[in-house]
Amino acid sequence: MSKSSLAYEKWTPSKTSERQNIGIIGAGLIGLSTAYATAIQGDGRIKVSLYEASNVGHSEAASTDINRVFRHLHGPDPIMTTWAKEASSLWAHLSAESGNTLLQKTGVLFLVHKGTDPSHIGNHVWPYSNAGDWVEDSIRILDDQKVPYRRLTPKQISREFPQFKSTVIEEAIIDEQAGFVEASTAIRSLLSLCLRAGVKYYPNTTVTRIDPTNNGCMIQFSDGTEAHRDAVVVATNGWTSELIHLPSDTLTLSEQPVVYLSPIDESHSLEQGQFPVFISLNTDCYGFPIHSGVMKIANDNPYRVINHPSERQNPSEDYVNQVIHTVGNFIPVLQSAKVFDYHVCFYDRSKDGNFILDSWDSDARIVFGCGMSGRAFKFGPVIGQKLAQFAVSGQKPKDINDFQIR
């Protein structure tokens, strides 16, 4: 094991553990992170099988995209900032092991706008009724955990980030060690690392049923075959209820459109190195520096609630134009941007907005993770580590006791 693997050495399976043959269902970010975290523990004693109904990075997957936001500001809950710090370390490990830079630390600029109706607040600061209060509580956590940030006045914003219309901004916070995860590259890199660590990968393999047994789980596949494993981790995101009977109100699936803009005049000022990831706390819009020739922007509010991921539909042109108009109000150069493409991803949201990291049976033979609520890439390697420990030991890690079905 390389020196950089030390970031993962926070628990050690018992040499006498019965759970040395683990099945993981779903090869998105959470499934891959769990498979890798499991495989590198126990000096190779643990066998890991990873099953995916399609293939890694398929078009319907929630993990498919060019980039995803990574940040340390998460409101008043200290565990989210703690986990973000841990995730940053684990992304560094994965970058070193894969040879790819997976976390780009561009900084994330949080904007609080002037003259905004305080009741017009989006998902980023829920359940607060005021963006400023959310910022103050978030900053207290950053101070406690010694996370670097800076508060910027409109004059400082104008000087450091002239792309933004500072006259409509009350203040901004720059989360200096934040940025974005190279989403598609991360997924491919994790698969390669899993295979290198000895994970057996089964693409185009659909699991139809899981049943606990006296000493493990029986997995049934669509072709009629079966496999017995000591424990199973279900990491199928919006498809979780197809394998585990969840109460009907456990998860809400929502369409989340993203818009890709073509390079425009002055686009050099929107390149990485000159332009940060941004999050507008009052409008809930966010965006990235130009990446792979396009600039990605989106609104974090749900576009439409759906019953199944297969129901996703592209947003209307009016919606796309509204997102561009909203962002253009505080990044004027985008008012003349051309739409390159747009599509819809989805969130699986829990009732309280927290992750669900739980077991279906009393012996924790069937462990599952869902309710990522659009935050998987912010915490994926950490969540994978927690689920791996849960499945192998049969004991729920203490710091995820609160992440359960409500």
**Where in 247-377 does DSSP place strands (E)?**
251-261, 277-280, 285-287, 295-299, 304-306, 339-350, 356-359, 366-370
CA 13 vs CA 4, 10, 216, 379: distances in Å? 19, 10, 17, 22
d(CA 247, CA 24): 22
d(CA 23, CA 64): 23
303 and 314 inside one domain: yes
pLDDT of residue 3: 44
Tokens read off for 67: 């980039």
Residue type, 354: N
Total number of domains constituting the chain: 2
Tokens read off for 208: 């139809």
328 and 199 inside one domain: no
Q: Enter the DSSP assignment of 347.
A: E
173 and 255 inside one domain: yes
pLDDT of residue 116: 58
161 and 213 inside one domain: no
Sign, Cα dihedral of 85, 277, 384, 185: negative
Closest CA to 386 of 355, 363, 349: 355
pLDDT of residue 61: 65
Q: With respect to residue 190, please indicate whether it lies within any of the assigned structural domains.
A: yes
Terminal-residue alpha carbon distance, the chain: 39
CA 162 vs CA 251, 269, 276, 357, 394: distances in Å? 41, 9, 12, 42, 53
368 and 290 inside one domain: no
Closest CA to 392 of 15, 17, 27: 17
Q: What is the pTM of this model?
A: 0.94
d(CA 180, CA 175): 12
Closest CA to 151 of 136, 168, 163: 136
CATH number for the domain harbouring residue 27: 3.50.50.60
174 and 300 inside one domain: yes
Q: With respect to residue 257, please indicate whether it lies within any of the assigned structural domains.
A: yes
Q: With respect to residue 106, please indicate whether it lies within any of the assigned structural domains.
A: yes
CATH number for the domain harbouring residue 286: 3.30.9.10
pLDDT of residue 5: 47
pLDDT of residue 59: 66
Q: With respect to residue 68, please indicate whether it lies within any of the assigned structural domains.
A: no
Q: What b/e string do you get for 48-75 counting C-beta neighbours within 10 Å, with b at 16 or more? A: bbbbbbeebbeeebbbbbbbbbbbbbbb
111 and 48 inside one domain: no
Q: With respect to residue 346, please indicate whether it lies within any of the assigned structural domains.
A: yes
141 and 264 inside one domain: yes
Which positions of the chain have pLDDT values less than 50?
1-6, 119
pLDDT of residue 394: 93
Tell me how far apart the 2 most distant CA atoms of the chain are, in Å: 66
Q: Show the domain range for 200.
A: 18-63+184-249+353-400
Closest CA to 24 of 210, 222, 245: 210
Residue 146 Rama label (left phi>0; alpha psi -120 to 50; beta) = left
- Phi–psi pair at 317, nearest 5 degrees: -65, -35
361 and 218 inside one domain: yes
Tokens read off for 405: 């079905």
140 and 198 inside one domain: no
Quote the distance between the C-alpha of residue 220 and its chain's center. Answer: 29
pLDDT of residue 267: 67
d(CA 118, CA 131): 8
Q: Tally the C-alpha atoms within 13 A of residue 39's C-alpha that lie toward its C-beta.
A: 23
Q: With respect to residue 312, please indicate whether it lies within any of the assigned structural domains.
A: yes
Q: With respect to residue 8, please indicate whether it lies within any of the assigned structural domains.
A: no
Tokens read off for 306: 């759906």
49 and 156 inside one domain: no
Q: With respect to residue 80, please indicate whether it lies within any of the assigned structural domains.
A: no
255 and 380 inside one domain: no
